[in-house]
Amino acid sequence: MFVSSNDRAPDAAELESLYFKPNGDSCYTVVESEGSSAFLRHKTIAGFNQGASLVCHCAHGSQPPSWVGSKTLFSYSDVDSLYNADALPVVLDRG
């Protein structure tokens, strides 16, 4: 899963084209321009809960802990919405 702010979306697209598509792997993406903060948080939570094995965050972080662009993509309080305990991903941050 790639989670990115608008300014980092090209980075996520490049990572996808270099490392995932050549192997035939699918990528679930969440890009800030896709909708409201509520929609983006819901989509990010869904990606975790669907069992993403690798999550690459290409956006900014802020305090309180959250992934943001001009909208909140995922925050510390959203962790309670996760039910992926049997499928924990590796999370990489390229903020």
| pLDDT tens-digit map of 21-60 | 898 887 899 998 999 989 999 999 999 999 999 998 888 7
Q: Are strands 72-75 and 2-4 parallel, antiparallel or unpaired?
A: unpaired
Q: For 70-83, how does the pLDDT look when each residue is reduced to its tens digit (9 = 90+)?
A: 888 888 889 999 99
- pLDDT band of 93, cuts 50, 70, 90: confident
**Alpha carbon distance 89, 86 (integer Å):** 10
DSSP labels for 57-75?
Answer: EESEEETTTEEESSSEEEE
Per-residue pLDDT, 25: 85
Which percentage of the chain shows pLDDT scores above 90? 36
pTM score of the predicted model: 0.85
